Structure formats: structure tokens, C-alpha cells
Amino acid sequence: MSALPLLRAASLILALAAVALGPAEAAGTLRIGYQRSSTLIALLRQDGSLEKALAPQGVAVSWHEFTSGLPIMEALNTGSIDVSADVADTVPIFAQAAQARITYLAQEAASPSAQAILVPGDSPLKSVADLKGRKIAVTKGAGSHYLLLAALAGEGLPFRSIVPAYLSPADGRTALASGSVEAWVAWDPFLSAALEQSGARILRDGTGLSLYKRYYLAADDYAARHPEILAVIVVRLGETGAWVKANPDAAAARLAELWKLDPGIIRKANERRSYRVERVTRGDLAEQQTIADAFRAEGLLPRAVDASALAVWEPPTR
């Protein structure tokens, strides 16, 4: 489903929600987990518009920052948060392998060039094949993890042909700059920042290797009890994503205040991201299964995963 029909349907739901939910039933605090790279959630948090949209239902919002997607999934599964901001396509797969009880809420359409394998500007490495035997920084379970796996597979190389250094984005960039790793797999805005500030160059981006969709998820129990609240979130995400693409300079300026990055870097990062928020369908999970199978084949998942087995949020009809 395209973003526009989704927004129209969800907007109708918002009109019904005030009647469908009484204050006592909906009252409480919505707990949202996010990462620094969670662009749309960062903007909603900055301007308070999500709180305003939820106020008629008696819902407050609390914000909880995490360094990567997997800890967010753990927090969802343990009931520490209710909803996650966007996480890379790999993250729900690893969470599912850990038997997390989570629901797909929405997705951002594919942005394959928003993640890439980087090397120093003066590196002798010229192709993915040259990574064999090299130490590479990557964030475990992130979309960049699958990009690296898929890039190696494209050259007939198993994952064990390289030496992974599992690091956070900040530590990965430091490791690349210090020479303690020979390549680093990054995603935006970290990717654009490294290209602009440290002279790194792209060895291979995700084009033709990974769609790199980003998913919003909710705890199963929360999704079952509060579909109308989730409808509000989906509407606001969709509107914010459309605003970012229509107002690149203004969006970059606002994010620069939050991320302490040059607006020009952020604008370049935002050009690589689709920010088109869409409903998740079962058909959309085909690449999720491909990702799960690839990790399992390399021994990087503890068990086989049926990507279609997770719940998918459906907009309420009442």
C-alpha cells in the first residue's frame, strides 16, 4: 500500500478514535524507544506534535534512547517500552530468533544507498573481494551486518572469511580512523558524516544487495490493546516523513540542532533515505525471510526463523 492511502485511512481512524476510546481506557504513558539515527521520531520528539496528537486520548509519551536496535527489541520484549522507532530490517529477525513477542507496525520504504561499506580514503582495498581476511567493524544485528554478509556472498566469500569487530557506530568510526579495523559498515547519518568529515570512501553500498527497509514495531500486548494509539503514531510518522522530503533544508536545520552535525551532512543523509512510511503486508516480508535464511546459513542465528510468523498491525476499522 502506498503512503497516501495509508495516511487517508489512518486519518479516518483518528477521527473515530476519540469516540472509540474513553479517557480511562486510553490514559497512561506511551513509552517509545529510539536510536540517534531515528530521524522521524527525533523530529516528533523535538516539536512535541505526537504528545499533542495523543493528548485527547489521555496519553502521555516518554522517550528512551538506545545505542542500537537489538537492545530496543529486548526492551520491547520485556515490557520496558511499548513501541520502537525505526530499526533496520535485520533487527526484527534477530529479535524473533530470541523469541521476542513483537508486532510489525509500519515500515519505511527501501533506502539501499543509505548504508555502505567504508574504507579510509587512502586504503589499498578496491573491491569487496579485497575484504577477505580483513578486520571489519560492524554493528551486530544491524542492517549493516546483513549488507556485509550479502556483499561477501556476492563475491563467493562466507562471513567467516573476514574478522568481524562488533562495535557501535561511534566506536566503528573511531576504529576505522585509528586503523584498528580496515573497513567499517555504516548507515546514515553516520555514513554521510564519515564521508564528509574523515575522508572515508565507499567500497560498496547496498544497491542491488539489500533493500534496507526500516521497521517500526510494537510489543504484542500493547498492539492488541491500543490499536487506535498506534494509528495516531502511524499518521504522524507518515506526515513527518513527507515533510522531510518536501523541506530538505528546514529538516536538516532542525536535525542539526539535535545531532550536532552540519546541516549539509544531514541533507545528504536524508537524500539517501526514502522516509516513505507504509503499512507492512505479509508480501513485504519476503526479503525478511531472505535475510533470516542468510544469517542462519552462516550460523549467525541460533534457530531458523519464519519471518511471516510475527504479528502485523492492522488499522482498526471501528
| CA-closest candidate to residue 6, choices 281, 300, 268 | 281
Kindly state whether residues 306 and 242 are assigned to the same domain: yes
Pair 83, 217 in one domain: yes
Regarding whether 221 and 96 lie in a shared domain, the answer is yes
Domain end: 205, 226, 254, which one? 205
> Long-range pairs for 38-42 at CB < 8 Å and ≥24 separation?
38/85, 38/86, 39/86, 39/244, 39/255, 39/270, 39/273, 39/275, 40/85, 40/86, 40/108, 40/237, 40/240, 40/241, 40/244, 40/275, 40/277, 41/85, 41/86, 41/237, 42/255, 42/258, 42/259
4: Cβ–Cβ under 8 A, 6 or more apart, which residues? Answer: none
* 318 in a structural domain: no
- Edge-to-edge, what's the strand order for the sheet holding 115-119? 163-166, 135-138, 183-187, 115-119, 201-205
| Residue at 186 is within a domain | yes
Ramachandran class of 185: left when φ > 0, alpha when ψ lies in -120 to 50, beta otherwise: beta
In a domain, 79, yes or no: yes
**Domain check: are 117 and 196 in the same one?**
yes
Judgement on whether residues 91 and 122 belong to the same structural domain of the protein: no
> Are 105 and 54 in a shared domain?
yes
User: What's residue 317's pLDDT?
Assistant: 73
In a domain, 154, yes or no: yes
- Domain of residue 157: give its range: 112-205
Domain holding 174: CATH number? Answer: 3.40.190.10
Decide if 263 contacts 253 (C-beta within 8 A): yes
**Is residue 233 located within the same domain as residue 195?**
no
Judgement on whether residues 97 and 182 belong to the same structural domain of the protein? no
Q: In terms of domains, do 102 and 220 share one?
A: yes
3-state helix, strand, coil in the chain (%, to 5): 50, 20, 30
Q: How far is CA 241 from CA 103, 130, 234, 235, in A?
A: 21, 38, 11, 10
CB 176 within 8 A of CB 200: yes
Same domain assignment for residues 106 and 252:
yes
Which of 164, 181, 205 represents a domain boundary (last residue)? 205
Three-state DSSP at 242 gives: helix
Distances (CA, A) of 113 to 3, 11, 100, 144, 283: 21, 31, 29, 11, 22
Please indicate, yes or no, if residue 317 is contained in any of the structural domains: no
In order of 122, 124, 133, 149, the CA distances from 162 in angstroms are: 20, 16, 5, 10
Are residues 97 and 217 part of one domain?
Answer: yes
| Mean pLDDT, the chain cut into blocks of 10 residues (318 residues total) | 40 34 54 93 95 94 91 93 95 93 96 97 97 96 94 96 95 96 96 95 97 96 94 96 98 95 96 96 91 94 93 84
Give the span between the Cα atoms of 54 and 255, in whole angstroms: 23
Kindly report the CA angle at 81 between 306 and 104, in degrees rounded to 5? 30
106 and 246 housed in the same domain: yes
The dihedral built from the CA positions of residue 301, 302, 305 and 307, taken in this order, carries a sign that is negative
Judge whether 146 lies within some domain: yes
Cell matching residue 318: 471501528
Domain closes at, from 176, 205, 234: 205
Split into its structural domains, the chain has a count of: 2
